Amino acid sequence: MTTSDDVVVEAVGLKRLYPITKGILFKKKIGEVRAVDGIDLQLMRGETLALVGESGCGKSTTGRLLMGLEPADGGSISVLGDDLAKLNSRQMRAKRRDIQMILQDPYTSLNPRMNVATIVGEPFAIHPDALAGRSRSEAVRELMDRVGLDPSMVNRYPHQFSGGQRQRIGVARALALRPQIIVADEPVSALDVSVQAQVMNLLLDLQKEMGLSYVFVSHDLAVVRQIADRISVMYPGRVVETGKAESVYAAPAHPYTLALLSAAPIPDPAVQAERERIKLSGELPNPADPPSGCRFRTRCWKAQEVCAREEPQLVEISSGHSVACHFPQREDAKV
């Protein structure tokens, strides 16, 4: 599983900067938001890589960069061996058959003026050869069935469905082209907890059946725990800790990961009452003007003078588990 043949998505030194401009007709650049600031990612075939972090840390931007929906301002992305920056628009369209996306909000991700047959059928309108001999309505019915929706509902409009059903429609649309990779941007965070579980199970089943690789963007560590094989924890624009899910959950090394884990509730009142919670004070640093050195130092209880001076780099602390911190938590310490 770890030979380079099995890497389906690889990002190296990925950057995305949004300019801050002033003026109406003659725009002047007065600064930039470093939304994604030099991150490395690797997604293996058939695995789920979770990108975790709080709002504004650049995880959704990373997802859109991997989809080629936004241009990267630095670094490179290769999907199934092809560098996205080197593809022309026709090759890029062809590449989209391999990598698809599930969006967060099932209420805005479906066009309110289209019925389900049109929404789920649109991938085939754009890539007719993906039908492989089937009629479009046949293909749409197959997909509806696959995601657990009654195929007789194809003539309905999005507003006639519940949030969970709508998210299933979004999943059906993403599966239509039989992609190998799916970028799921907070796919269940807009849903009720009971419905979340159903959609998560659907995603897990589909992964098993179709051998999908997921990039799973989420802020919810409880959800991530169900699906992730590996986790990368992001803090504005940077990956601060990455490793196998078990090892990150069992032995978080970065103080930020520690704080995130302690914020996720444990479904056992006795344990939940006893454990110590780390409360972070303050907000995310302004990504237009990040603090010097370690970006987390302004909220970190371990911060010392060196943290302001030097930016910590990702260092491997155990097999496949890396952390960017000057004072990582030792593995034997308890949370």
* Site for another protein, rule CB under 8 A: 24-25, 64, 67, 69, 92-94, 96-97, 100-101, 103-105, 108-113, 122-123, 125-127, 155-157, 160, 170, 173, 177
Q: How far is the CB of 150 from another protein (least distance, A)?
A: 13
Q: What are phi and psi of 297, to 5 degrees?
A: -60, -30
- Nearer Cβ to another protein (156/225): 156
- Nearer Cβ to another protein (170/237): 170
Q: How far is the CB of 157 from another protein (least distance, A)?
A: 6
Evaluate whether 265 touches 274 at the Cβ level (below 8 Å): no
**Which residue, chain included where needed, has tokens 């002047």?**
28
Q: How far is the CB of 218 from another protein (least distance, A)?
A: 17
Length of the chain: 335
Around Cβ 148, how many Cβ atoms within 10 Å?
16
92: left (phi over 0), alpha (psi -120 to 50) or beta: alpha
Around Cβ 125, how many Cβ atoms within 10 Å?
11
Q: How far is the CB of 183 from another protein (least distance, A)?
A: 8
Q: How far is the CB of 202 from another protein (least distance, A)?
A: 18
- Nearer Cβ to another protein (58/123): 123
Q: How far is the CB of 252 from another protein (least distance, A)?
A: 32
**Distance of alpha carbon 100 from alpha carbon 174, whole angstroms:** 6
Around Cβ 330, how many Cβ atoms within 10 Å?
9
- Nearer Cβ to another protein (178/309): 178
Q: How far is the CB of 49 from another protein (least distance, A)?
A: 18
Which secondary structure element, helix H or strand E, spans residue 230, and what is its range?
strand 230-235
**Distance of alpha carbon 75 from alpha carbon 71, whole angstroms:** 11
- Nearer Cβ to another protein (24/273): 24
Q: Which two tokens stand for residue 46?
A: 């058939």
- Nearer Cβ to another protein (92/266): 92
Q: How far is the CB of 203 from another protein (least distance, A)?
A: 17
Using CA atoms, how far residue 62 sits from 208, 264, 277, 283, 288, in Å, is 25, 23, 29, 21, 17
- Nearer Cβ to another protein (48/167): 167
**Distance of alpha carbon 250 from alpha carbon 244, whole angstroms:** 10
Q: Give 187-222 as a DSSP string.
A: TTTTS-HHHHHHHHHHHHHHHHHHT-EEEEEES-HH
Q: How far is the CB of 177 from another protein (least distance, A)?
A: 7
- Nearer Cβ to another protein (175/231): 175
**Distance of alpha carbon 146 from alpha carbon 46, whole angstroms:** 19
Encoded amino acid at 127, one letter: H
- Nearer Cβ to another protein (157/327): 157
